[in-house]
Amino acid sequence: MFVSVFLFFAFTTGNVKAADTLSVDIYGPGQRKVNIILLPPKTVAAGKYEGSKGDDLPLPAEAGTFNSDLRKDLGFLPFLNLVPVADILGGDPSRGVRPGDIDVKPLRLSKVDLAITTGWEVRPNGEKNLLLRCIGTFNGRTILGKKYSMVTEEMLPRIADRFSSHLMRILTGRDGFFESSIAFVRKVGKNKEIYTVSPQGRNLRQISSLGGVNLSPNWSPDGDKLIFTRLGSRQHLLCVWDRETGKIDQKSFPGNTVIGPAFLPDGNMAATLTMNGNSDIFLINGNYKPKRTLAESWAIEVSPDFDRTGEKMVFTSARFGNPHIFILDMKSGVVTRVTREGKYNTNPTISPDGRYVAFARQTPLGHRIFVHDLKNGQERQLTFGPGSDEDPAFGPDGYFLAFSSSRTGEYQIYLTTRHGDPAMRVPTGSGIAKAPAWGKAKKS
């Protein structure tokens, strides 16, 4: 375990002003790109709290590895543009890691907004401390400073995640991306099992080893549980994985069908059951007992998903002939149709704030991801293939979206944003990967 502390009395008047100058509205149109540079790592003299130079000290082996991890993390943020040091007139403009050690003039000439410094403090007993700063080139002030003590090689990816998360919050007012985990379905031989991975492709873990077909994972709001459907030889089963114990409980229901389970914010669940002969969406309590019907018709009702308040449920229904997206007001019981274009709209996901609904629509060129603004009714296509793009899932910040795509010939998991930024593939190992579900990661 390592300790993270502020290097400075962060958010002084000057720092807040500096951060506000570079604030990024990732939710509005016309996102601003912030030019950021990751400067070469430096050694600092042991015992100097503010990180004075340690020119005569060699860099630890971890220095290059960490900068690579941090660069990878920053590359996942579409509103950042990473500027290579080689593009700066005269090369590296830093003599150390403090603001006064950086010549900001060549950075300004290259239109760099922010500079990140990494300072390594190696004590006589071998203990390694890492000092990180993000400095604004407009005034040379630090907008973010962190110190991580007793650093080991195994901790480097997590430190990169934490610092990137702090920076995202300062620039956008939101975070969650670097503290999240994506569950998905991966083909293993003839079977389909449930796996989890970080959005950057780290911490790949197999959750189920049940054999057969396991589908439709969904996280509990606190990230402690994962539910999914298992297609048994005689019936569907609702499977519940507990993070703390690693055990999987299997629950059966009358009608023998369980499709697309989803958690509500209060810990209750919803899933499509066939208790009355039709495929309707039922509310299921914490004891795994059906309480009442949420959506029913003569047709199939599937794929429930909820906003963070639990007041809105999106789902797919064929009640008008073709599959379309609908939204249920949980308080009034009023159902409203969302999609009117296309003949095949499925797999809806609603943003945590309840404003946006993303879904997959069948087009002549394959399935594509669209997003619908519930406030103004506008609809926008986010992905354009090739292949088919399916299974959208909003991230916890309501900005990122995960989806599965066959654009390389084999289904894999990709990330985009609700603005349709270029897709980035999530490394998930060998084998087909589909049906991403975004949730909170275990705190460390």
Q: Cα separation of 426 and 145, whole Å?
A: 29
For the cut 90, the answer to whether the pLDDT of residue 52 exceeds it is no
Segment 212-237 shows an average pLDDT of 95
For the cut 90, the answer to whether the pLDDT of residue 444 exceeds it is no
Q: Cα separation of 68 and 192, whole Å?
A: 33
Q: Comparing 4-18, 354-368, 407-421, which segment has the lowest mean pLDDT?
A: 4-18
| pLDDT score recorded for residue 232 | 86
- Whether the CB-CB separation of 82 and 115 falls below 8 Å is answered with no
Q: What pLDDT digit, counting tens, does each position of 157-207 carry?
A: 999 999 999 999 999 888 899 999 999 999 999 999 999 999 999 999 999
- Whether the CB-CB separation of 174 and 26 falls below 8 Å is answered with yes
| pLDDT score recorded for residue 58 | 86
For residue 254, with 0-12 CB atoms within 10 Å meaning exposed, 13-18 middle and 19 or more buried, which class applies?
A: exposed
For the cut 80, the answer to whether the pLDDT of residue 289 exceeds it is yes
Q: What pLDDT digit, counting tens, does each position of 123-166 carry?
A: 888 899 999 999 999 989 999 999 999 999 999 999 999 999 99
What's the whole-model pTM score? 0.89
* Res. 29 pLDDT band, cuts 50 70 90: low
Segment 331-357 shows an average pLDDT of 97
Q: Cα separation of 74 and 356, whole Å?
A: 26
Q: Which of 314, 272, 261, 268 is nearest to 297 (CA)?
A: 272
* 3-class secondary structure, 254: coil
Q: Cα separation of 52 and 49, whole Å?
A: 8
The share of the chain scoring above pLDDT 70, in percent, equals 90
| pLDDT score recorded for residue 2 | 38
Q: Which of 48, 173, 39 is nearest to 115 (CA)?
A: 39
Mind listing the domains of the chain with CATH numbers?
4-172 (3.40.50.10070), 177-440 (2.120.10.30)
* 3-class secondary structure, 366: strand
| pLDDT score recorded for residue 165 | 95
For the cut 50, the answer to whether the pLDDT of residue 14 exceeds it is no
Q: Quick one: how far is CA 154 from the chain centroid?
A: 22
Q: What pLDDT digit, counting tens, does each position of 104-115 carry?
A: 999 999 999 999
For the cut 80, the answer to whether the pLDDT of residue 46 exceeds it is no
For the cut 70, the answer to whether the pLDDT of residue 44 exceeds it is yes
Task: Name which residue leads in pLDDT, 275 or 389.
Answer: 389
